Structures are given as C-alpha cells and as structure tokens.
Amino acid sequence: MTKSELIEQIASRQSSLSLKEVESAVRLILDDITDSLAQGGRVEIRGFGSFSLHYREPRVGRNPKTGDAVPLTGKYVPHFKPGKELREQVDASRSLGY
Amino acid sequence: MSALTKAELAEHLHTELGLSKRDAKDMVETFFDEIRGCLRENEQVKLSGFGNFDLRDKRERPGRNPKTGEEIPISARRVVTFRPGQKLKSRVETYSNAKAREA
C-alpha cells in the first residue's frame, strides 16, 4: 500500500472528511512524527509501536571506489519498535496463511 | 521532552486543520489502524519520504534464556521492520550534526 492508497482507504472509512482533508491530515501526522524525531524526541502510539532514535558510534568507513579510509562521525538513525498488539497480529497472520 | 502520542496528534489536527475533535481523534485511530490492517495481511506499506514498513518471515533459531543460560529455540515468526525514508533520515541527520557541534 502506498501513501495515496492509504489516503483513499482512510477517506472511504471517514465519511465526514473529504479526500483533501484526509490528505492534509496524513501529511500532518507524518510531519509531526518526523519533527518530533528531528528534535531528538520519541513517538509512542499505543497498540502500534514507538519511534525513537538509535545512536550509531563513530567509525572508520571506506570509500568503496578508492578503498580510502574515511572517518565517519557518530549519528542518530530513526528506529521503529512494533508494539505488542501489532507484533502479535502480524505473527498470527502467518499461521492463517497470509 | 515528553513523547508524542495519539492525543497530541489529534489535538494538532484540530488546531492546525480545523477538524472537529471527534474527527481528529477518529482520523488518528484510522490512520494507524489501516497501516496495521495492511501489515496483518502481509502487505508492505510504503510512505514516500517517511519510510517503509516491511514484513520478514524469520526461521526458527537457537536462543537462550539470558537469566538461566538455558537453551530454548526462538520459534519461527513474522516481524515488522521499518526502513526510514530519505527525508526522515536526513532530518534526523541534521539533529545528529547539531548534537555533534554541542559536544
């Protein structure tokens, strides 16, 4: 499913909102999550999961073309940890043959 | 900083887009519910700029109870993984750089 398909799906369930409103709402939700992480924060969605940052230690990388050593600084990367409900439902679907 | 939650997302939809409080709350619920429903049907979710939620089937592998050291197999399972998109990664990278300058 892509973002535009998600927007259509939600719009078909939310009869009180127009497609345009759903589109703006989806964009706002994703922007809010992004902004929160970009400020070093966390996002906790009960039943779904949490987004946080994981630290990557500084390391020596290599230029794949030349083989030269390149020092890489430490950095943060976005991380998602599925919540219990999502974990269980997804795993249960495996035994249902999906 | 406290964590961002569904309540705050709904409040923001209300103040920023003028959705009624009811619609805003439903919107947030439906958003995560649709993504979960899709993953439950073993379908990947791709949100351009933000990231992809993928599914991986893991085979059974040997594990250990960390407390007792006892060997117990970790059963085969299906798991959700998230691959952040380019925009999200670069926004977080900017935070990394700001942190590095502080240090």
The predicted-structure confidence for B47-65, as pLDDT tens digits, reads as follows 999 999 999 999 999 999 8
Beta bridge partners of A53: A78
pLDDT recorded at residue B22:
97
Please give the full DSSP string across chain B, using - where no structure is assigned.
-PPB-HHHHHHHHHHHH---HHHHHHHHHHHHHHHHHHHHTT--EEETTTEEEEEEEEPPEEEE-TTT--EEEEPPEEEEEEEE-HHHHHHHHHHHHHHHHH-
pTM: 0.90
Interchain contact, A6 vs B84, CB within 8 Å: no
- How many A×B Cβ pairs under 8 Å? 170
Residue of B4, B20, B39 with shortest CB distance to A32? B4
Residue of A32, A41, A45 with shortest CB distance to B32? A45
Residue of B16, B23, B82 with shortest CB distance to A17? B23
Q: Which among B1, B2, B4, B87 is the top mutation candidate for probing chain A, defined by the most A β-carbons within 10 Å of its own β-carbon?
A: B4
What tokens were used for B24? 């805003």
Query: Once rounded to an integer, what is the mean pLDDT over residues B80-84?
Result: 98
Question: Residue B80: is it exposed, middle or buried by C-beta count within 10 angstroms (0-12/13-18/19+)?
Answer: buried
Confidence of residue A35 (pLDDT cuts 50, 70, 90): very high
Confidence of residue B7 (pLDDT cuts 50, 70, 90): very high
Interchain contact, A6 vs B45, CB within 8 Å: yes
Interchain contact, B96 vs A1, CB within 8 Å: no
- Residue A15 and residue B3 in contact, taking contact as beta carbons nearer than 8 Å: no
Rounded CA-CA distance A36/A39 in Å is 5
Q: Does B103 touch chain A (CB under 8 A)?
A: no
The amino acid occupying position A6 is L
The amino acid occupying position B95 is Y
pLDDT(A98) > 80: no
- Residue B52 and residue B83 in contact, taking contact as beta carbons nearer than 8 Å: yes
Q: Which of A73-77, B11-15, B22-26, B81-85 is predicted least confidently?
A: A73-77
pLDDT recorded at residue B80:
97
ipTM greater than 0.85:
yes
The amino acid occupying position A71 is P
Confidence of residue A81 (pLDDT cuts 50, 70, 90): very high
Q: Does B10 touch chain A (CB under 8 A)?
A: no
pLDDT recorded at residue B99:
81
Number of other residues whose CB lies within 10 A of the CB of residue B19: 25
Nearest-CA neighbor of B10 among B22, A23, A11? B22
Find the closest chain B residue to A21 by CA distance.
B17
pLDDT recorded at residue B86:
95
Which residues in chain A are closer than 8 Å to B82, comparing Cβ atoms?
51, 78-80
Query: Once rounded to an integer, what is the mean pLDDT over residues B59-85?
Result: 93
